[in-house]
Chain A
Amino acid sequence: MMPSKPALRGRKPKVLVLRAPGTNCDVETALAFKQVGGDAELVSIADFKAARVRLMEFSIVAIPGGFSYGDDVAAGKILANQVKLYMKEIRNFVRLGRPVIGICNGFQALVKAGLLPFSAAGEQTASFTANDSGRFEARWTHLRLNTQSMCLWTQGLPEMIELPVAHGEGKLVLKSPRHLEELKKNKSIALQYVSDDGKLLGYPHNPNGSVFNIAGLTNPEGNCLGLMPHPERFTVRHHHPNWTRQTFMKEGIGLEMFRNAIKYCQS
């Protein structure tokens, strides 16, 4: 089923970049959207509570990385509970097919709020735990995209891309093995950590020990994406750790994801 188009069209789609105390990738995520023609606005969860903003006025929602509420209790858990307060609205937003992205801490929150991988059910079927290495890991990873996936964020991207990760609790775990089969069937596994030649290998290629090397998940409809790697950290070629060794790269591959969402809203 193709998701229905966002109600609000326009040349400059409005992007809600959700922040909570402790969010720290909000500015660069907003800048990435602005770079490709989005009208990004930082909205704090307190603004929601005070009913100063209305979700439906926006075309795109992004939950950026960071340590929301200090990642106390567990990474993204408190933010997830806050998001659940507005579950009906958000579920509606997703059901209307508007693009939603959760990056790193945002991914953790989406999963813990039950919006991913099955946004329709609203039940938590996956979670995150500490990296296998036992340490926070900041490193660039090779990723393989699921070209079969419906995910609108990754449409048209090359099968193999590179993006950096930076997290301490990034190991995705599933409630039951049957969920993995379901994810495969629904083509929900949007991104996997691989070696530079595309193999599913262990640490350090899989930086956290995620089940089936999962780096990113999408809902079956493809409009809601959560991923541990940071696309907003690769929007110009100088973000790449090896840009001084290369001449062919024009811009960062991460920017393509943001462009996809903006284009989707504009079309």
Chain B
Amino acid sequence: MTERRDRAGVPARRVGEEVVGGRQTGDHAAALSVKASDAGSLRFTVLPPKELKELSARLGWSLNEPELEAIRAEFKKVGREPTRGEIETIAQTWSEHCKHKTFNGPVRYSDGKKSRLFKSLFNETIVKATKELGKPWCLSVFKDNAGIVQFGRSGRWALAVKVETHNHPCAVEPYGGAETGIGGVIRDVLGAGLGAKPVLNTDTFCLARPDYAGALPGGALHPLRTLRGVIAGVRDYGNRMGIPTAGGGLWFDDDYRLNPLVFCGTAGLMPSWAVRKDVKPGDLIVAVGGPTGRDGLHGATFSSATLEGEADRQAVQIGHPLNEKRVLDALMAARDRRLYRGVTDCGAGGFSSAVGELAQDCGAKVALEKAPLKCSDLAPWEIWLSEAQERMVLAVPPKNYPELEKLFLAEGTGCSVLGEFTNTGRLVVSHKGAPVADLDMEFLHDGMPRVERRAVWGLVPKPKSRPCGARKGPADRGRLGAILIRMLGHLNVCSREWLIRQYDHEVQSGTVIKPLQGMRHDGPGDACVIWPVAATGEWADQAGFALGHGLNPSYGRLDPYWMALCCADEALRNLLCVGADITKASFLDNFCWASPEVPEQLGGLVRAALGCHDAAKGYGVPFISGKDSLYNQSRDEKGRDLAIPGTLLITAVAPVNDITHSLTMDFKGPGNSLFLVGVTKDETGGSLLSQMEGCSGEVPKPDPKAAARAFKAVSGTISKKLILSAHDLSEGGLGVAVAEMAFSGEFGASLELDQVLTSPAMLADETILFSESPSRVLLEVSPKDDLAFMRAMKGVPVRRIGSTTANPLIKVSGQDGSVVLETLLVELKTAWQHTLPEAMR
């Protein structure tokens, strides 16, 4: 389900995501049997409640009892029976998918000590923080298909960003699911304002380990097959669209084995004048793109089903990148000639949501027989609700239509007039003169009854395992090195080159900081920097932007609140390390959770939302867009509910004022100073160390205010060109970070752990090396700049902890001065590069 808030209370886009409650038990035969009722009566207002509920389940409407009653009351007031098309439209518009009932609805939350009633969880956490921050460069937030911020200093450009999930379809049909996932988010950006030209795609996958050897329930795909499929889907669609896929991530956890998560993101450039839509009565409703078919019918309701046994693969849409590329090119040409006043994409609910959205403040009259079809036997309501891909709806002043049509036809894609926008406040749909729907816009968008949900959060019981770093006895010189090598080979750390090279990450010639960096172009970059010159055409302008992610469900298992802060911190650190201006950063949130009907699950979600609020306020970074995908749980092979770990992907995007000042993470030379910014604490809870060594610790707890101060100081030193390389400390802490910088730059490093700023003052060597305390970055500085650097960092916790060396090895001396780790770079790099190609074999 998409579009939660990006247009609160408007039907949403994408297809086939998780939806509320009931499952679709109706099969196609059942759907056909009620075709007769299309124009006639469903006897909706007179059916007893029980039968009404059964009908709703049979036809896959996913409407609950209060909602059915609200519809009944409305049509009693109108004085007639609703048509099938009307109920389908309402069901679509009111689905969890579109309305985000949980996130927008009331929630009673209790954490054991205090309880709190949210009238709207979303409005009182994430939106509130954004509103209070009141950043002037946020041009359009939570309203449109994507968040829109200012771009560059000229004031001529704006940047639209959106991240979506497409989880259920990818569980059933990974390739098609990922294709339509990326295709859908591209259309979101095309349908933001008057359309932005996509300049960057990202993809983040959460799956079970590709070598998972346990049992799976019937019908579930093996994670290796899912991974192969989703990578191929993003590759084939993204590459054909001519949009660089240069960001994203991979996270492996076996609890995703039945519900893989697929996040697709797109960023696009538009001229500032194109930020707002302005649909006027009398404008033509124009459908462009591919024809309408039966594909993806009831995609939304299908995905509400828990995935058991044979799922209906026809509910997954079919992607066609060439068609979408044609739409993209024609649409951008039409935009620049200012031929239309509004645009939105056909996502979940197809025409019904697209037209409903554009006509929200006026009204619309639609004649469905004018829609081009793939097959002639579609019932009118099927045309109205089909989720066939690569279609968009425009609001076009009649005098511009001939020119617009010429543009689309020249590009070889469809263009037809479906009707016109009116000023009646009603949505009137007909097919060959027969009525399909006649609905009051206000009832459609605001008539949904609200249901209060209960959320509880109890403290996670203290784990019984030994605390990390508490190993007794003399230091074993080989042990830390062995841990480091295993960490680098861990699936959540290892090289992603196998996958990144399959994506064209340089098309449009704007990827100036690439995902792979270093001497041999294979080191792990923190974030990409895009110089969108193919969209602006302004060679002299050095303005760019950086986009990075933060994700760590392991922290969420301990406390989703701190997970949210850690993710925000990590996303910002990633931007910081490539030289972005993080004082003008923006966040996007993507929540993927299990069933919100389970109070403990919803409790975790509330904690994460509260964390997002505090992160936004603490770092001074507003949220501009987001989405939630719920009901990510399925019955496992033993019939128990397997919930995914509560997952939050935070995407951060920030301007890079001058791309020639941006940075990579690889060491640039021998004899340079290494400075560690931030305090290292005993924070190993959820860390890679705790997972590998079976130990436990405190979850990392960022202090956003202090972190923001430190980041700002670092940012200042980068713009003064004092920094040679920068890398953020995330999974695996200092050890992994220094190893990655070293083998990417092909210079060694020598570190002294007694120089590291820790709290408390005494920590085990193992903890200092592998703690995942947030807000830390490792910087390489030329010794001649040491003083200038330290002066610029005044008041910020920072220490010189070692230097780079010509010797190709990492050497670490412990707190007692003895060497605790000495490992060749080649060993580290081999371990790091080996894992993924091996797993994908």
Which residues in A have some Cβ–Cβ distance to B below 8 Å?
Answer: 21-25, 27-28, 31, 35, 44, 46, 65-67, 69-72, 135-140, 164, 166, 168, 230, 232-233, 235, 238-239, 241-245
Contact = CB atoms under 8 A, between A and B. Distances in A.
B667 to A, nearest CB: 10
A139 B502 contact: no
Given A166-B507, A235-B509, A241-B514, A137 B241 contact: no
14 contacts: A21-B412, A22-B325, A24-B242, A24-B508, A25-B242, A35-B539, A136-B501, A136-B502, A136-B503, A138-B504, A139-B521, A168-B239, A238-B512, A238-B660
A138 B506 contact: yes
- Which residue, A72, A139, A230, has most C-beta atoms of chain B within 10 A? A139
A164 B663 CA distance: 20
Interface string B315-332: 000000110011001000
B517 A137 contact: no
Contact of A135 (B325, B501, B519): B501
A138 B668 contact: no
Nearest to B499: A135
Given A24-B240, A31-B534, 10 more contacts: A21-B325, A21-B326, A28-B534, A66-B242, A70-B321, A136-B235, A136-B503, A137-B502, A230-B506, A244-B666
B124 to A, nearest CB: 44
Contacts of A72: 322
Given A67-B239, A138-B502, A138-B503, A31 B533 contact: yes
Contacts of B379: none
B507 A140 contact: no
Contacts of A239: 506, 509, 512
B734 to A, nearest CB: 22
A28 B242 CA distance: 11
A44 B412 CA distance: 11
A251 to B, nearest CB: 11
Contact of B240 (A22, A137, A232, A245): A22
B384 interface: no
B220 interface: no
A250 to B, nearest CB: 13
B165 to A, nearest CB: 24
B507 A22 contact: no
Interface in B568-612: none
B664 interface: yes
A135 B509 contact: no
A230 B326 CA distance: 23
A232 B509 contact: yes
A241 B521 contact: yes
**5 nearest A-B pairs in the assembled complex, by CB-CB distance:** A24-B242, A70-B322, A28-B509, A238-B512, A166-B504
B410 interface: yes
B322 A139 contact: no
Report, as a range, how many residues of chain B touch the other chain.
35 or more
A84 to B, nearest CB: 19
Contacts of B537: 27, 31
B438 interface: no
Nearest to B665: A244
Contacts of B516: 241
B361 interface: no
Interface in B638-667: 659-660, 662-664, 666
Interface string B323-350: 0011001000000000000000000000
Contacts of B512: 238-239, 243
A50 to B, nearest CB: 8
B531 interface: yes
Given A22-B240, A24-B325, A44 B506 contact: no
B811 interface: no
B762 to A, nearest CB: 38
Interface in B775-819: none
Contacts of A35: 539
Contacts of B531: 238
A75 B832 CA distance: 34
A243 B531 CA distance: 14
A32 B61 CA distance: 54
B308 interface: no
Contacts of B325: 21-22, 24, 67
Interface string B352-393: 000000000000000000000000000000000000000000
Given A22-B325, A67-B322, A233 B506 contact: yes
B791 to A, nearest CB: 24
A138 B242 CA distance: 13
A230 B531 CA distance: 17
Nearest to A204: B501
Contacts of B13: none
Contacts of B506: 138, 164, 166, 230, 233, 239
Given A31-B539, A137-B502, A24 B241 contact: yes
Interface in B2-32: none
Contact of B668 (A65, A137, A244): A244
A156 B596 CA distance: 67
A267 B357 CA distance: 58
A66 B240 CA distance: 7
Nearest to A196: B520
B490 interface: no
A90 to B, nearest CB: 21
